Amino acid sequence: MLREHRGDGHIAALVGARIGGTEAHVLSALEQGIHPPESFGRIHHLPKERLTAVMDGMRERGLIDIDGHFTDAGRATRQRIETLTDELATPPYDALSPAEIDELITNLEPITATLVATGSR
């Protein structure tokens, strides 16, 4: 539930920044160092015309440069989205006591270890 709550906040932050779904994947690809971002596994299968239109729109908005790399404005937009996502995810944790937070962490550690062992980030 906490993950879903965070995801909902992330979508709200993206919408507030006027970032669409494909654009969000482009920003994510660039954040991960994937270049060209169109090669990112979540969008590489989309029609070339669609990817071109998305990239052109992001260039027009000053989020990426002519070569498809982050601009300062693009990097700042990505950071604002992540910061707002973190802020929106906080309230459920504020409702937990210190003991409940410790219990949550203890219960999640084996899941985290399994995910990390399989290469998840």
What was the pLDDT predicted at 82?
97
pTM: 0.83
Euclidean distance between CA atoms 110 and 114, whole angstroms: 6
Tens digits of per-residue pLDDT, 30-67? 999 999 999 999 999 999 999 999 999 999 999 999 99
Average pLDDT over residues 81-109: 96
- β-partners of residue 64 are 70
What was the pLDDT predicted at 13?
98
Average pLDDT over residues 79-103: 96
Average pLDDT over residues 7-22: 97
Question: Would you say residue 121 has pLDDT above 80?
Answer: no
Question: Would you say residue 7 has pLDDT above 90?
Answer: yes
What was the pLDDT predicted at 19?
97
pLDDT classification of 120: cutoffs 50, 70, 90: confident
Identify the residue whose tokens are 């440069």: 65
Average pLDDT over residues 90-102: 95
| Contact call for residues 12 and 83 (beta carbons, < 8 A) | no
